[in-house]
Every structure is written in C-alpha cells, then in structure tokens.
Amino acid sequence: MTEECVAKRVEINGIVQGVGFRPFVYQLANQYNLKGEVANTSSGVSIHLEGNRQNIESFCRDISEKKPPLAHITEIDLFDEPVCDHQAFTIVDSREQLVMTTLISPDVSVCDDCRHELFDIHDRRFGYPFINCTNCGPRYTIINDIPYDRPKTSMKSFKMCPICQAEYDDPENRRFHAQPNACSDCGPHVSLFDNTRKKVATPNPVAKTAALLKQGYIIAIKGLGGFHLAADAENNDAVVRLRKRKHREEKPLAIMSYDVERIRKYARVEQQEAELLTSPQRPIVLLTKKEPNSIAQAVAPRNRYFGALLPYTPLHYLLLSQDFTALVMTSGNLSEEPIAIDNEDAFNRLSHIADYFLIHNRDIYLRSDDSIVRKAAGAIRFVRRSRGYVPVPVFLNKKVPPILACGAELKNTVCLTKGNQAFLSQHIGDLENLATYDFFKLTIRHMQRILNVHPEIVAFDLHPDYLSTRFAEEMESINKIQIQHHHAHIVSAMAENRIDGPVIGLSFDGTGYGTDGAMWGGEILIADIEKFYRAAHFAYVPMPGSTAAIKEPWRMAVSYLYDAFGDKFWGLDLPLLKEMDAIKVKIMVDMVNKKINSPLTSSLGRLFDGVASIIGIRNQVYFEGQAAMELEMLATGQADSIYDYEWITTEGHQILTRPIIQGVVNDMNNGIHPSVISRKFHQTLIQMFSDLCAVIRKKSGLKRVVLSGGVFQNSILLTGLIKVLEKENFKVFSHTQVPANDGGISLGQALVAAAVTSR
Ligand code: ZN
Ligand code: ZN
Ligand code: FE
C-alpha cells in the first residue's frame, strides 16, 4: 500500500537545548518511520519531517506528552514544506539565526543513570567526578554564548577521546550531543592543594579530602556554581572555627547529606519536602530540627530549622558516600562578598579560611549560589531563587518591551524581559561592596548576551543612594523609570500570579524608600500594575541612628517604648533597660526628641525587631531579619486573647503601634512567658490586617489581596493571614515562583515600567 508522503516543518520554542531533546526527536521520528532532520537553532529546535500524515500527527502529539524531563516547551508551530525525499532522519549541526529566543536550561543535578554508573565498579566512569549525560549536569554556569554547543561552553578546552566522541555521535546513546560529555581520559579532573598552594600527592584526591574532613579540617571545594567551604557537620570545633574564619557569627549554615534517610536522622522531612530535596533542582530546604540530634550546635544556633540539601554533582556524591551524617556546605566567600568561582581567586580570598582546596580545571563562567526554599501554607516558598531554577523565566500574561530591572539593594537580583517572559537572574547579593557591584554588572552583561536582549527601558528603585540606582542613572540613551519599592513588591506577586489590578496589596518588609522620603515597610496599598496609593500604613516612629537601628533592635525598642509611654518608660521593668547602659538609652531619646539622624519609618520589620528586644530575645543582630526570625520561632505558646489595636483615619488609615507595645509591656510585667507574648503578637497582626482589609473592601469593593515583602517569610503570619482572609471571602495571592523578599522585586519593577511606558 502506498501512502501519500507529506512534509512539515515543526518549530519548537522553550527549554529544548541541552536537555536531550534532539535524540528524543530522533528516536521518535524513527519510531513513526519519518524521514528528515532536526537542528538546534538560536530560537529553539527546528524539525523537518517527511512521511505519512497520521504518523506526523502522532509524532507532534508525543512531542508534548513524552518530552525529556528537563525540557520545557513554550510554543510549537507547524508549517507545510515541499517534500525533498530524505532517505533517513538525521541530526544536523546547529545553525545560527538572527532571531535569538532560545531558552537555556538551568544546571541540574546528576541523574539516576549517571549516579549508578558512578558507583558501578565495572563502568568506565566509575568514580569519575564529572560524569553527566543529556539529562543532567552543568548548563547555565558553563555557557558563554548561544546556541548551546560545546565550543560556547567551558568544556571547549577538553577534546573528547574516541570513546566519548562515539557516544556523543550515537543517536541511540544517552550521551548523544551531551555537550559536557567527558571521562577520566579526556575530561576535567580534580586535584587537592593545601592553603600554601602545594599540591597534595594522593592517588585519590576525593577520598583524601573526605579523610581530612573527618580529621576536622576545613576544605574549599569547587562545585557547580562556585566554591563551597566544607566541614564535618558533626564536629562542633570545626564548625566554630569555620564561622570564626569566615566572619559569619550566627547565620545558619547549610548542610548536605547523602540521602533523605540520613537527613531524617536530624530533621523532620514531610512528603512534599522530600520531593523538593530530591528534585533535579536540588535546593536547600528549610526543615524542622529533630531534638536531640548529632549535628553540631554551631551549625544553626537558636534556630528551629536546618537548611539541608542533597548532593547535586557527582563530586558531592563521591564525598558524601564516605559515611558522613552531613557536611557543612556553605558558600565559599568571606561574609557578604560574592562566592569564589575561579581557582586563583579562591586561593587569594579563601586561604585564611580553608586548610585545603579541592579544585578542578573546568571553568565556571557565571557563579550561581544554592537556592533556598521552604514549605509554608501548603506551597513552596523561595527564600533565594538561584542555582537549578535560573534561567527558567516567569511567564507573563502579556508581552512587554525589552526591559532591564535593576532590583533593590539587599538580596539583589536583576530581571530582563523578552516578549512574555521575565528572566530573573541568580542571587547576586547585597549591593554594598564593590565586588558584589562588579558581579551585578557582569550578570547584566552576561544575561543580555545569552538571552540576546537589548533593553529599551531600565527600571530601578526610588532610593537615591542605591548602587543599582546609580548604575541605571549612568546608562545612556535608554528610557529610565524609577519605581517605589513596595509597589514593586506587590506587582512582583501580581506578575507571577498573572493578575492585573486593582488589588489590596499588603507590602510588609524591613525597609524601602517611600515617595515622601520616609522609610516605608508596613504598607497596605491599593495597586494596579501601573500605579498605587497608600490605603493604610503603620504610623511613623523615628529610627534613632538610621541604619544602626537595623543592626541594633534595642534602638527601635526605645523608640517604640518612648512613643507608647513617654518619659514613664524609664520606670518599666524590662530586661532591655537593665542590660543597656542608661546613658546610651538617654542618647536615643535625645536623638528622637531633637530629630537627629532619626528618619521616620512605618516598617513592620522594625516593629518585629522592637518587640523582640522588648521581650528579651536580642538587642543586636548579626544578619538581616535575625531578631524577627527568632521572634517567630519563639511563638510556640498558646494565646487565648490578642492585644488591642487601633488605627486613625485621615486620608488613609494609620495603624498605631502604641496599644500593641503597651499590651506587650503589660504582659511582660505580669510575668507572661515570651513564647505566649510572641504568639499573641502574631495573632494580633493577623486579626488586625484582616479587619483592615475588610474596611478597605467596604469602601473600594476590592476582594483580591496580594501578599508580598520580606515579612511574609514569616510562616505564622503568612499561613494565618491566608486562612483568616480566605474565611472572610477574600481571594488571596502570594509568592510561589519568586521570593517574597527583595530577591523578587526586580520582576515587579520590570512590569511597572512596562505599564508606565505603554500609557
Ligand atoms: Zn545523567
Ligand atoms: Zn573520554
Ligand atoms: Fe523589600
């Protein structure tokens, strides 16, 4: 029976390069007896098919349904083509095209197949720390340009041996066109050095590293997106030494274990959390500690959680298989600097922290920190969205012009838009030093190149002193749009939930520059994408010492107490007033009265800090949000009542902190346990915000509430507020794709800028 032969061209866009897509297409074409060819293009993958019409239809259906695990298809287009009598189905070399819209895969953890080979003594890659295939391995961090082919990656300096080349050329092989394909004969290798750069003579650097870790040494290990500093997580001395050398006093350290079973020894792992841990993205997952546990006290002091992750490179697997419960795997930097990625740079910067260096000779082109997630209110919440997730875009509900959004100051990320896709960068860090600022500029250049975006608009924060603001202002021939911080927060949540306004937006964080020059942070906005107004906010209180009041919550405590009690606060029986020098407290009061270096703030983050200090948790913090975080963790008590709350209504509503502070102090005086006070404080906020939303709904008719800002990393507040608001028939939107903190703000900035300029 002869059937009519037809020809079609199938154009596929999305993450379809470097994820085993062409071999999948090749096998599918053979299965349906189709001839033709497939090629990577700069816009995705292009397939020419010839054969029976029905088979072509089945082929197209299978493309979407059976695609490789890492592929992400955004568009499939079908075109008629003339038949040109192909004799077979072939894979052709990449073509460069003028339109470059291809998506690049993030770095993904080593797959199960490769892991089995890694530990199979009969496999030729047994114990080889760089094993990978089309389904796994490095991507984003080794790519310098597109299209994604070996010469455009840091694998270009390794010439494949004949066996690897044969795998690479064989469409039936799992390593067919796996760009980083390598083996111990032809690929990168590891070596061990001491911190004077003397090579350690050993036949097995990985096993030697494990032995040194067991003896309590600190080792800098080159990974996928940068260096880690590793130590045995059960050795308290080693962890304390690491903290001291790294100048990282209290911030929790991430720990890595071989498998979920081992993590269960020290932390509770629910089903959804196990799925996150084992996902190809391999993020750090915040898990509730089990008590008692064998992990060193210094890993996460005064914290109810461990940040744990599973190995994601073959090298990690080889190390962790040497019988560790867990290894500390913290970023290879001195506090606040970007992580080291380059061997030379690592030796220069980390020699006084690490005793040894386990390095390798494959370059990292772009650093990418580990991502951090947690489960809260039934969904994944990003604390940091970086390795494993970047550069997967957030898909928008409409197309926007090419925009660069510069983000905020802390936890900076940038965002580039292209059509209906918004690409957030990996975590860049706090833009407070030159090294981080350089990384910020490098990331912008790199992303523009690999995404082929030429921004017409730059969006940036209203704060005049941010480095990102200065960067934007120095750009030439580009449309500049300045955006209010808390509006950007709300719009970032609207963007990932694909909603336009208007909405009631609860924008709660530590600090952001307000349109009146005050430090905002406890804002209820009525907002659409383009504009907003303040429906309610916390009444202003002074921040004596400005940014010093962020690092020293006792300053905020004095400010709130003085506001609530006037001079009578001196007579209160509070731990803070016993611990702090009366002269220092007096200076704060004078600063407030004389308005010296005491900017006004409406920040909810500062209120958390102040309450934490008043109830005796801490007067000083070592990292951003520490006091607020510890206040949340303390909220284990049962509270059967809440504090009085009050707002005054003029143009908008101004929430008074006075009655809440008075209630907290009253409870302290009555000997109520801080764990009850903390719980009561949380319940008060939840009830109060819900009441306020009801009042605003009555006047505005708005039923949709959007939650954003760093305060929503507080899971009691997030969970409680969603529950109460939904009970009151509000539709609630929160973050599940980008962080609620400033790490997500560039997405909001981009969308506001698009709306403002399309007016
Ligand atoms: Zn693999
Ligand atoms: Zn080889
Ligand atoms: Fe913020």
Rounded Cα distance, 481 and 469, in Å: 10
For residue 336, name the pLDDT band (cuts at 50, 70, 90). Answer: confident
Ligand 1 centroid–CA 168 distance in Å is 13
pLDDT score, position 72: 84
Residues 6+ apart with CB under 8 A from 487: 505, 507, 525, 527, 531, 532, 748, 752
Ligand 3 centroid–CA 331 distance in Å is 23
- What number is the average pLDDT over the span 235-247? 97
Which one of the ligands is nearest to 187 CA? 2
Ligand 2 centroid–CA 165 distance in Å is 7
pLDDT score, position 203: 96
Torsion 178-184-186-191 (CA) sign: positive
Token pair for 232: 């045995």
Which one of the ligands is nearest to 155 CA? 2
Rounded Cα distance, 31 and 366, in Å: 39
Torsion of CA 421, 422, 426, 428, to 10 degrees: 160
Alpha helices in 574-703 (DSSP H): 575-579, 582-594, 604-614, 626-634, 658-669, 674-700
**CA-based diameter of the chain, in Å?**
101
Residues 441-500: pLDDT tens digits?
Answer: 999 999 999 888 999 999 999 999 999 999 999 999 999 999 999 999 999 999 999 999
Residue 627, phi then psi, degrees to nearest 5: -65, -45
Ligand 2 centroid–CA 157 distance in Å is 13
Residue pair 684/642 in contact by the 8 Å Cβ criterion? yes
Residue 102 pLDDT exceeds 80: no
Residue 76, Cβ density class (10 Å: 0-12 exposed, 13-18 middle, ≥19 buried): middle
User: pTM for the complete prediction?
Assistant: 0.93
Ligand 1 centroid–CA 30 distance in Å is 23
Q: Is 206 helix (H, G, I), strand (E, B) or coil?
A: helix
Ligand 2 centroid–CA 186 distance in Å is 4
Ligand 2 centroid–CA 95 distance in Å is 26
Ligand 3 centroid–CA 284 distance in Å is 22
Residues 668-715: pLDDT tens digits?
Answer: 999 999 999 999 999 999 999 999 999 999 999 999 999 999 999 999
Ligand 3 centroid–CA 685 distance in Å is 19
- What number is the average pLDDT over the span 656-661? 98
Rounded Cα distance, 601 and 520, in Å: 6
Q: Is 523 helix (H, G, I), strand (E, B) or coil?
A: strand
What are the counts of helices (DSSP H) followed by strands (DSSP E) for the chain? 23, 29
- What number is the average pLDDT over the span 502-526? 97
CA distances from 545 to 467, 517, 598 (A): 21, 16, 6
Token pair for 642: 């809440």
Which one of the ligands is nearest to 486 CA? 3
Rounded Cα distance, 334 and 327, in Å: 19
The helix (run of H) or strand (run of E) holding residue 262 is helix 260-263
- Domains annotated on the chain, with CATH: 6-102 (3.30.70.100), 190-360 (3.90.870.40), 537-733 (3.30.420.40)
Ligand 2 centroid–CA 224 distance in Å is 20
Residues 192-219: pLDDT tens digits?
Answer: 999 999 999 999 999 999 999 999 999 9
Ligand 1 centroid–CA 135 distance in Å is 5
Token pair for 555: 């300053």
Which one of the ligands is nearest to 712 CA? 3
Residue pair 220/228 in contact by the 8 Å Cβ criterion? yes
SS3 annotation, 410-471: CCECCEEEEEEEEEECCCCECCCCHHHHHHHHHHHHHHHHHHCCCCCEEEEECCCCCHHHHH
CA distances from 115 to 107, 277, 315, 486, 497 (A): 16, 16, 11, 45, 37
Residue pair 429/436 in contact by the 8 Å Cβ criterion? yes
Ligand 3 centroid–CA 743 distance in Å is 8
Cis peptide before 464 (omega within 30 of 0): no
Ligand 3 centroid–CA 692 distance in Å is 21
Which one of the ligands is nearest to 131 CA? 1
Rounded Cα distance, 88 and 33, in Å: 9
Residue pair 725/690 in contact by the 8 Å Cβ criterion? yes
User: 């991507």: which residue's tokens?
Assistant: 139
Ligand 3 centroid–CA 709 distance in Å is 5
Residue 3 pLDDT exceeds 80: no
- What number is the average pLDDT over the span 277-306? 96
Rounded Cα distance, 559 and 696, in Å: 29
Which one of the ligands is nearest to 166 CA? 2
Residues 6+ apart with CB under 8 A from 230: 213, 218, 219, 220, 221, 319, 327, 328, 329
pLDDT score, position 97: 46
Which one of the ligands is nearest to 520 CA? 3
Rounded Cα distance, 574 and 534, in Å: 35
Residue 93 pLDDT exceeds 80: no
Ligand 2 centroid–CA 185 distance in Å is 5
Residue pair 295/96 in contact by the 8 Å Cβ criterion? no
Ligand 3 centroid–CA 542 distance in Å is 19
User: Residue 43: how many CB atoms within 10 A of its CB?
Assistant: 22
Q: Is 576 helix (H, G, I), strand (E, B) or coil?
A: helix
pLDDT score, position 98: 40
Ligand 1 centroid–CA 169 distance in Å is 16
Which one of the ligands is nearest to 508 CA? 3
Ligand 2 centroid–CA 362 distance in Å is 15
Residue 60 pLDDT exceeds 50: yes
Residue 423 pLDDT exceeds 60: yes
Angle, to 10 degrees, between the axis of helix 745-757 and the axis of helix 485-496?
A: 90
pLDDT score, position 217: 98
Cross-strand bridge partners of residue 461: 483
Cross-strand bridge partners of residue 230: 219, 329
Which one of the ligands is nearest to 162 CA? 2
Ligand 1 centroid–CA 69 distance in Å is 11
Ligand 2 centroid–CA 188 distance in Å is 10
Cα–chain center distance at 342: 22
For the chain, the average pLDDT equals 94
Q: In what order do the strands lie in the sheet with 35-41?
A: 72-81, 6-15, 44-51, 35-41, 89-92
Strand bridging mode 305-309 / 255-256? parallel
Looking at the chain, the whole-number percentage of residues with pLDDT higher than 90 is 86
Residue pair 18/132 in contact by the 8 Å Cβ criterion? no
User: 């287009």: which residue's tokens?
Assistant: 77
User: Residue 342: how many CB atoms within 10 A of its CB?
Assistant: 16
Ligand 1 centroid–CA 111 distance in Å is 4
Ligand 2 centroid–CA 320 distance in Å is 25
Ligand 1 centroid–CA 112 distance in Å is 7
Which one of the ligands is nearest to 462 CA? 3
Ligand 1 centroid–CA 12 distance in Å is 24
User: Residue 337: how many CB atoms within 10 A of its CB?
Assistant: 17
Ligand 3 centroid–CA 577 distance in Å is 31
Ligand 2 centroid–CA 190 distance in Å is 15
Residues 599-619: pLDDT tens digits?
Answer: 999 999 999 999 999 999 999
Ligand 2 centroid–CA 183 distance in Å is 4
CA distances from 275 to 310, 347, 380 (A): 11, 36, 11
pLDDT score, position 567: 95
Ligand 1 centroid–CA 128 distance in Å is 13
pLDDT score, position 308: 98
